[in-house]
Amino acid sequence: MTALLERTEPAVRRPLLSRGAGFAGISAAMVAILVAAGAPTPLLPIYQHQWGFAPWVLTLAFGVYAFSLLIAILVVGSLSDYVGRRPLMIGALAVDLVAMVMFLVAPGIGWVIAARVVQGIATGAASAALSAAVVELAPERFKKLGAQMTSMAPLGGLAIGALFAGVLAEFAAANAAFEVWFVLAVVMAAGTVFAIFTPETATRKPGALASLNPRLSLPRQVRRLYWTSVPGILGGFMTMTAFMGLVPALLVAVFAVQSPIVGSLLAFVALGASTAASAFTGGVRAAGLRLGGLVAMVAGAVLFVGSIGATSLPLLWAAAAVGGAGIGASFAGTTRGLVPEVAPHERAALFTAIFFVGYLAMGSSAIIAGLAIGAVGAVSTAIGYGVAVALVTLAGVVATARFNRR
């Protein structure tokens, strides 16, 4: 290991990685935990073919993940501000390892849904702690990169996970699920061990038990900007739900596409465009970036509706690229505007507030869409969903434009 080793207090004698190595490793762990979250997208249709469950179960499996994640965020989202980042990161990665093993041995869709619940708990517990730790571990010359990682890693991880599982599902169909979950189990085990030797960045303080009461604590100085950003956060997570939870069912029901790699590539394009928009807009002012992202998401929602109405796959690809870029730009503009305004000990609470509204939108919209598919059909559901995303995001355009003028 080339990283410089440090030591804590002599009584502890636990070797720790340097802050630079910790930054690289925890950034990779943050990506990995989202890779695992994106992996089920192309595998769910395979499970449906093997086990013969109804199409709405696909969106249920996606929705329960979001709700379990949401509960975890509410309960332990700010806990790392009190007990430190490292205990939360170690625990979350270990719990995600349990989820990977559950996926690996799943004999039916019930086990898969249970594994998604456990995975959601792990991802929720990790979200705020990992995001805060990445910002704090970043060396001084990479502080800007650390802030960018908090918006790039979730999107990039989901994109890589969908593509990784989709490629295996296409070319190793018989053993695809086993191979995906085996590899991810090994990655989670390695991440758990790495987190044990990562430097702590937060000072412990009293109040840990009280912080477990489900609540949102938003720093006063960013409340106005936060509430202005909420429609964009809602629209962004609903757009992600469309391409990760709804499109796999639509490809079969509307476009008669059976190949699992098409769904994974659509998710990869949407989330890859999001990552690129976040990565290559560092010189754009946060306010302008947020507004431009919202406009792109509205355009993406219109293209999505048009693709369903015209049964046009090219329009669906365009919706993925345009809407995805909007997600990345809007989320990056939001985090870059909010994070510098809060103190270090308030960062986990801020990320908890951001992820709360996002995953609430993701879980509820996925389950509602799944129930609607069973009631009114895939076409009507998809069109209604796209219209809802456009309206929510358009409200964000108006709110952000007014805020920017002020």
Question: In percent, how much of the chain has pLDDT > 90?
Answer: 31
At residue 4, φ and ψ (nearest 5 deg) are -65, 130
Q: Are 123 and 34 in contact (CB under 8 A)?
A: yes
Token pair listed for 162? 């969908």
Token pair listed for 263? 């769904």
Which of 24-38, 148-162, 224-238, 348-362 is least confident? 148-162
Nearest partner of 54 among 379, 373, 376, 383, judged by Cα: 373
pLDDT above 70 (res 382)? yes
- In this prediction the pTM is 0.79
pLDDT above 50 (res 304)? yes
Q: How far apart, in whole angstroms, are the C-alpha atoms of residue 32 and residue 273? A: 19
Higher-confidence residue: 194 or 22? Answer: 194
Confidence (pLDDT) at 2: 40
Helices assigned H by DSSP within 197-259? 208-211, 223-241, 247-253
Residue that the structure tokens 């709804």 belong to: 246
Residue 206: which residues within 8 A CB-CB, separation 6 or more?
Answer: 82
User: For 192-243, what is each residue's pLDDT tens digit?
Assistant: 998 888 888 777 888 778 777 776 677 788 888 899 999 999 999 999 989 8
pLDDT above 70 (res 9)? no
Nearest partner of 198 among 7, 2, 18, judged by Cα: 18
Confidence (pLDDT) at 221: 84
Partners of 16 in the beta sheet? 6
User: For 116-156, what is each residue's pLDDT tens digit?
Assistant: 999 999 998 887 788 778 878 877 666 666 666 766 777 78
Confidence (pLDDT) at 3: 41
Enumerate helices (H) and strands (E) in the chain, giving the number of each.
Answer: 16, 2
Tell me which range, 158-162, 163-167, 382-386, is most confidently predicted by mean pLDDT: 382-386
Average pLDDT over residues 69-73: 86
Average pLDDT over residues 256-272: 85
Average pLDDT over residues 40-47: 82
Superfamily of domain 17-204+219-405: MFS general substrate transporter like domains (1.20.1250.20)
Which uninterrupted H or E stretch holds 6?
strand 5-7
One-letter amino acid of 234: L
Confidence (pLDDT) at 142: 65
Confidence (pLDDT) at 111: 93
Token pair listed for 321? 């690229």
Half-sphere exposure of 63 (CA within 13 A, CB side): 16
